Amino acid sequence: MSSNKVVLITGASSGIGLVTARYLAQQGYRVFGTSRRPTQAEANGFTLLPLDVRSAESIQACLQTIIAQTGRLDVLINNAGFIGPGAASEELSVTQVKALFETNFFGVIQMINAVLPLMRQQGGGQIINLSSAAGRLTTPPFFGVYAASKHALEGYTEGLRYEVQPFNIRVSLVEPGYFKTSIAQTIETPDRALEVYQARREQAATLDRLSIQAGRDPIDVAQTIAQIMRGRLPRLRYVVGLDAQVMITAKRLLPFAFVEKYITWLFLHDAERRPVTSLSGLRHLFLNSRVADAAWRQAWLALALGAGVTLIFKLWRKK
């Protein structure tokens, strides 16, 4: 059980944040979720508070409410974020880039800096930052600024882990692949759209939306977060989703030229001639999470069976 730990999770009005808040509340944690525009006082067993992670005043008001009710904060889960512009670099305005980083990166830093004095005074705590598979590989193309915000979060979180170890504050990252949420609604058009990029940009954005719609159940992420919270010595990184595991492993082990060709084919192939409107063909196999998971499980089973048969044959020949 939770031992009545107090948990604060940002961006809990929908998607992974909402599912995680509900799940942790069901596990017995005292959960406070946040939203910029909360519409309900009590949300399925947890309290929903107003919070804008871009505002220091809003952060302090939220924390004061929690401390007034509980006297402590044991776990901070930084989940608030959005995808932002699907755009080539020269189509972006500085305003769009800054707005994305204000929430996805600087908002996290503000939240953490606000809770660290409290956690040090308590003698410990836990911080879990929601990154993405895009935190370790830039995919899909034309979402480089979103990936950059997550790359920055990954570097910052790794550094933070060293800083707060002496205070018994544990720090981890969660890196989900495609999960079925409403985050696709946060994809923005470029401020300075150029026709030369249009076909490839729009295809990448379409495939990203379709992949999110065909994504896994966010409960997998919620259960992973609960596992991290229960762990005695939690790791720095937790990858969630077979697609994320395969791609992150591939980027680590294979030549980048191979990964680059694969990503280009997957998201940009035939964009000018035959723009996609649905997941079909081989793309269906790779980008529809349910289909992809089944295919990969069958492939691993076949490999395991093949290895087992080979081993048995070798042992038999030795007799």
pLDDT at 170: 98
Q: Which of 13, 35, 132, 211 is catalytic?
A: 13
Q: State how far Cα 35 lies from the chain centre.
A: 18
Q: Which of 23, 146, 178, 238 is catalytic?
A: 146
pLDDT at 299: 61
Half-sphere exposure of 163 (CA within 13 A, CB side): 11
Please check whether residue 102 lies inside any domain of the structure: yes
Q: Which two tokens stand for residue 78?
A: 């930084």
- Tell me which residue of 73, 1, 92, 2 sits closest to 34, measured CA to CA: 73
Longest dimension (CA), the chain: 76
Please check whether residue 194 lies inside any domain of the structure: yes
The residue range of the domain holding 301 is: 288-319
**Alpha carbon distance 285, 242 (integer Å):** 13
**One domain for residues 125 and 217:** yes
pLDDT at 41: 46
**Residue 6: φ, ψ to 5°:** -100, 130
pLDDT at 317: 67
Identify the burial level of 257 via C-beta atoms within 10 angstroms of its C-beta, where 0-12 means exposed, 13-18 middle and 19 or more buried. Answer: exposed
Active site residue 3: no
**pTM for this entry:** 0.90
Q: Which of 5, 150, 180, 251 is catalytic?
A: 150
Please check whether residue 1 lies inside any domain of the structure: no
**One domain for residues 231 and 295:** no
Active site residue 319: no
Active site residue 13: yes
Active site residue 93: no
**One domain for residues 314 and 175:** no
Question: Mind listing the pLDDT tens digit of every residue in the chain (319 residues)?
Answer: 456 899 999 999 999 999 999 999 999 999 999 999 887 645 578 999 999 999 999 999 999 999 999 999 999 999 999 999 999 999 999 999 999 999 999 999 999 999 999 999 999 999 999 999 999 999 999 999 999 999 999 999 999 999 999 999 999 999 999 999 999 999 999 999 999 999 999 999 999 999 999 999 999 999 999 999 999 999 999 999 989 998 999 999 999 999 999 999 999 998 988 878 777 777 777 788 877 776 666 665 666 666 666 666 566 666 5
Please check whether residue 104 lies inside any domain of the structure: yes
Q: Which of 131, 132, 172, 289 is catalytic?
A: 131
How many domains in the chain? 2
How many CB atoms within 10 Å of residue 54? 15
**One domain for residues 16 and 55:** yes
CATH of the domain at 13: 3.40.50.720
**Alpha carbon distance 104, 157 (integer Å):** 13
**One domain for residues 199 and 319:** no
pLDDT at 44: 72
Please check whether residue 316 lies inside any domain of the structure: yes
